[in-house]
Structure 1
Amino acid sequence: MKIYHNPRCSKSRQGLAILEDSKLSFEIIKYLETPISKIELQEIIKLLGIAPIDLVRKNEAIWKENFKGKSLTDSEIITAMVENPKLIERPIVINNGKAIIGRPPEIIKSIL
């Protein structure tokens, strides 16, 4: 099991606490420090079963200033997230071939 975690995000910290309380073993990936590759991000999106745009944090300044209102392909959106990991919605938990965005954090319990 993995959690893609941003320690500065309260929802991500709440998600991490849920995993810690579960007593299950898991890996913490601090994706702002250890960037996600394009292939890895494509796999996460596939596991989530969503369009790449649905993983973007559209209120981030980077998005508003550089991408908002533009017609982008899925590949361009994924590249934007790889190059600007702050744009990736968080936390993401992957367990047994399933993935979920922990918003609200309690939803993480559904894949434990």
Structure 2
Amino acid sequence: MTKETKNTVSAETIVENLKEFAETLHDESKEAMLYYLSAKNVSKFKIANIMHNISHDLLDILDGKSAKEILGESDEEDSSDFVGSIAINVETGKVEGIDDIKDTKVKEQILAAVSKVVEELGGN
């Protein structure tokens, strides 16, 4: 590119655009997760969940966190990561499998999502 045709974009504009993208990705992936959960499409739910997690990581970066913090690369071993299965009775709204989750924010998010799905499916 020559100097005359080079497009200069301010850092503020780049950050604003990235934040808008991350927020849109967050909202759309959250809706997709709820839709595919209610449609019982596990593979598409997992893809939407991955996109949702990426949106959170992007938002964290825009809030000043380092990649090392986000990816959990530290000398300490963190046992708060959740790996397992969650069972939801859509008729009663009962959730099983979240007892071992130590992060209360994660538990609240899961219960809120489950509540919305149960409500949409006409459960209790």
TM-score of the superposed pair, with normalisation by structure 1:
0.25
Q: Which has the larger share of strand?
A: 1
Q: Which has the larger share of helix?
A: 2
TM-score of the superposed pair, with normalisation by structure 2:
0.23
Which structure's relative contact order is higher, taking Cα pairs within 8 Å and 6+ residues apart?
1
